[in-house]
């Protein structure tokens, strides 16, 4: 497959410098706070599980050995503050500002991801071994929410294909299904039946194997904060955000299109594919434009790009498909 680099981004789309500078100031503070937090977390972990080594990584801890990727967008990332304070994480709350606080004490260790279904090597992988499956890369991706807002996020992760290869799927496996942890004791949102829990998502095998599809374990060169789906989440940058399932505990291989949470909730509004597509509106609102988080209050919305700007890389996956029908 021929992979092209994304086109240059017009200067009008780049986050204004003022917010970039204030982000730096914030990160300095966040790193200091993170360091203090990490100290506490290590201590807590060594008390709770004596056998566990004291190298447990906690949110805010710096990740090392990250390599840059040519798949990264050239845009300036959204501020750390906005990425970690504004998102949809219905397991904690339907309010976009609430998960940041509610997810603070979410336990990401111990954590295991089971891989099963149509594979030659079903297995259960510990999160620390998952983080060593492949070299960690920085992937700065555009992120487009189905609600009409967008960010630019500097994820740290590795291609999902690295994990898939470990499991060695059977040729009959055509889809990959993912599942979020079910932990209503820790996730207050799961005590309401706003959605069907646990959250499930899925990809076609070729989408899952695509080099742009990653498992993210970090953000801004640090361990992924709980609010953004720690310890491990999916990121599929050409699809609406809800496809990028968080806090994954299960990956299954199957020959049937797996059920997906928002599709179960409203099948006429959220399809299995959910590729970012400015020409196919959500039944209740337009998808032609998006509000860039961090832009000025009086800045007009920007145009949404086909496949969120990743057409060159992914359009060929959908050759001959009617994207109005398979929305």
10 Å Cβ neighbour count for 26?
16
Least distance CB 149 / another protein (angstroms): 6
Tell which one of 62, 165, 204, 301 touches another protein (CB under 8 A). 301
* Least distance between another protein and beta carbon 246 (Å): 16
Q: Segment contacting another protein (CB under 8 A): 29-37, 38-46, 81-89, 312-320?
A: 81-89
Q: Sort strands 200-204 and 175-180 into parallel, antiparallel or unpaired.
A: antiparallel
Interface stretch with another protein, choices 27-35, 84-92, 113-121, 210-218 (CB under 8 A): 84-92
- Interaction mask 103-142, another protein, x per CB under 8 A: ----------------------------------------
Report the C-alpha gap between 139 and 136 in whole angstroms: 9
Count residues binding another protein (CB under 8 A). Answer: 26
- Stretch of 25-33, 90-98, 244-252, 317-325 lying at the interface with another protein (CB under 8 A): 90-98
Q: Is 201 in the site for another protein (CB under 8 A)?
A: no
Q: Pattern 37-76, binding to another protein, x per CB under 8 A?
A: ----------------------------------------
Work out which of 1, 2, 47, 297 binds another protein, going by CB under 8 A: 297
Contact 292, 230 (CB under 8 A): no
- In the complex, the smallest distance separating the C-beta of residue 227 from another protein, rounded to whole angstroms, is 12
Q: Which is nearer to another protein, 20 or 128 (CB)?
A: 20
* Cβ neighbours of residue 266 closer than 8 Å, sequence gap 6 or more: none
Kindly state the smallest distance separating residue 228's Cβ from another protein, in Å.
Answer: 13
Q: What's the min distance (Å) between Cβ of 66 and another protein?
A: 25
For another protein, the binding residue among 38, 134, 293, 305 (CB under 8 A) is 293
Distance between CA 135 and CA 64 in Å, rounded?
10
Report the residue number, 109 or 292, with the smaller CB distance to another protein: 292
Give the Cα-Cα-Cα angle 288, 290, 294 (nearest 5 degrees).
165
Q: Where are the beta strands (DSSP E) in the chain?
A: 67-68, 112-117, 123-126, 137-144, 149-159, 175-180, 200-204, 214-219, 222-223, 233-235, 248-254, 289-292, 302-303
Backbone angles phi, psi at 258, to 5 degrees: -75, 155
**How far, in Å, CA of 89 to CA of 224, rounded?**
14
Total residue length of the chain? 327
Nearer to another protein, 63 or 83 (CB): 83
Interface region with another protein, contact rule CB under 8 A, candidates 169-177, 224-232, 280-288, 306-314: 280-288
Contact 242, 174 (CB under 8 A): no
Among 25, 265, 267, 326, binds another protein (CB under 8 A): 265
Output the CA angle 299-14-302, nearest 5 degrees.
Answer: 45
Residues 6+ apart with CB under 8 A from 201: 177, 178, 234, 242, 243, 244, 245, 258, 260, 261
Residues that bind another protein (CB under 8 A): 81-82, 85-86, 90, 94, 96-97, 147, 149, 194-195, 265-266, 281, 284-286, 288, 291, 293-294, 297-298, 300-301
């Amino acid at each position: 497959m021929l992979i092209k680099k994304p086109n240059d981004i017009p200067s009008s789309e780049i986050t204004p410098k003022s917010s970039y500078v204030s982000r730096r100031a914030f990160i300095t503070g966040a790193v200091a706070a993170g360091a203090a937090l990490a100290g506490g977390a290590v201590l807590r972990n060594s008390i709770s599980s004596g056998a566990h080594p004291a190298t447990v990584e906690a949110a805010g801890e710096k990740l090392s050995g990250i390599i840059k990727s040519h798949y990264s967008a050239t845009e300036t990332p959204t501020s750390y503050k906005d990425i970690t304070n504004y998102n949809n994480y219905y397991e904690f709350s339907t309010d976009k500002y609430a998960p940041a606080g509610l997810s603070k004490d979410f336990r990401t260790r111990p954590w295991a991801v089971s891989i099963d279904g149509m594979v030659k090597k079903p297995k259960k992988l510990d999160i620390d071994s998952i983080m060593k499956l492949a070299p960690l890369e920085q992937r700065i991706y555009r992120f487009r929410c189905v609600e009409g807002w967008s960010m630019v996020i500097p994820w740290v992760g590795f291609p999902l294909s690295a994990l898939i290869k470990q499991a060695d799927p059977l040729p009959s496996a055509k889809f990959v299904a993912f599942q979020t942890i079910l932990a209503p004791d820790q996730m207050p949102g799961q005590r309401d039946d706003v959605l069907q829990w646990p959250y499930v998502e899925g990809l076609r095998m070729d989408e899952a194997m695509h080099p742009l599809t990653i498992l993210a374990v970090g953000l801004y060169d640090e361990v992924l904060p709980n609010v953004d789906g720690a310890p491990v989440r999916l990121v599929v940058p050409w699809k609406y955000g809800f496809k990028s399932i968080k806090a994954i505990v299960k990956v299954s291989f199957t020959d049937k299109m797996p059920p997906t949470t928002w599709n179960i909730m409203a099948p006429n509004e959220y399809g299995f594919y959910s590729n970012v597509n400015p020409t196919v509106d959500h039944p209740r609102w337009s998808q032609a434009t998006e509000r860039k988080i961090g832009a000025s209050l009086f800045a007009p919305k920007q145009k949404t790009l086909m496949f969120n700007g990743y057409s060159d890389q992914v359009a060929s996956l959908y050759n001959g498909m009617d994207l109005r029908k398979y929305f």
